[in-house]
Amino acid sequence: MTGLARPTHGRMIGGVCAALARRFGTSATTMRVLFVLSCLLPGPQFLLYIALWILFPSEDRMDARSGW
């Protein structure tokens, strides 16, 4: 299994929802809707998104590291 990476294409803001959608085999739109709906609940959703944006490497950096 490869690590999670933010895609360079098909991302809206940071690519976090697109990366999670790819990992769980769903569409990015579905993941984005789930994120927006979760923002209606109390909790640190925006902080989690920002943390994942920082932690998930960009796909182009993953390719450069692997030598492709």
**Residue 43: burial class (beta carbons within 10 Å; 0-12, 13-18, 19+):** exposed
pLDDT attached to residue 65: 61
CA distance linking residue 1 with residue 36, whole number of Å: 28
pLDDT attached to residue 9: 81
pLDDT attached to residue 1: 41
* Residue appearing with tokens 């950096």: 61
Query: What are the mean pLDDT values of the chain's consecutive 10-residue runs (68 residues total)?
Result: 75 87 91 93 92 88 60
pLDDT attached to residue 58: 87
Nearest to residue 31, comparing CAs of 8, 55, 14?
14
pLDDT attached to residue 13: 85
